[in-house]
């Protein structure tokens, strides 16, 4: 499933407030209208897992690929910031995470790099 044309805010409201459709049908309509899982959960005031389960079942039954937003993990962000030359303190402060976690990621990265160099 490629890029989907996104529906307008007005259309989103109409679908969300249409009580003639079940919650699941409204979720599917919003999804087909270009909204992502998290956006649907916020719009409808339901848990992310509920929306994910409805949509994954719908996609599986209709032989579609479920669209998901790929986000970098905190670890990926830390590695990128290390590569940019930032210190552990700077990274920890910017990402609002534990200094010890940043330190551990840096040590693991250095260990892997040293292993690759020694080969």
Residue 21 has a pLDDT of 95
Q: Which of 95, 70, 71 is nearest to 82 (CA)?
A: 95
pLDDT at 49 over 60: yes
Q: What angle do CA 5, 30, 44 make, to 5 degrees?
A: 140
pLDDT in tens, 50-73: 999 999 999 999 999 998 777 778
Q: Which ranges in 3-119 belong to alpha helices (H)? A: 9-17, 23-32, 37-44, 48-61, 74-83, 88-95, 99-118
Q: What is the mean pLDDT of residues 13-36?
A: 95
Block residue for tokens 């994910």? 52
Least Cα distance to 88 among 111, 110, 104, 74 occurs for 104
- To the question of pTM greater than 0.75 for the whole model, the response is no
Does the structure show a pLDDT above 80 at 3?
A: no
């Amino acid at each position: 499933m490629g890029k989907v044309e996104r529906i307008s805010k007005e259309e989103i409201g109409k679908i969300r407030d249409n009580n003639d459709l079940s919650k699941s049908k409204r979720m599917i309509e919003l999804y087909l209208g270009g909204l992502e899982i998290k956006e649907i959960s916020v719009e409808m005031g339901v848990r992310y897992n509920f929306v994910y389960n409805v949509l994954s079942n719908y996609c599986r039954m209709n032989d579609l690929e479920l669209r998901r937003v790929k986000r970098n993990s905190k670890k990926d962000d830390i590695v990128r910031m290390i590569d940019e030359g930032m210190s552990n303190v700077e990274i920890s402060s910017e990402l609002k995470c534990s200094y010890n976690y940043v330190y551990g990621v840096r040590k693991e990265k250095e260990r892997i790099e040293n292993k690759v160099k020694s080969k």
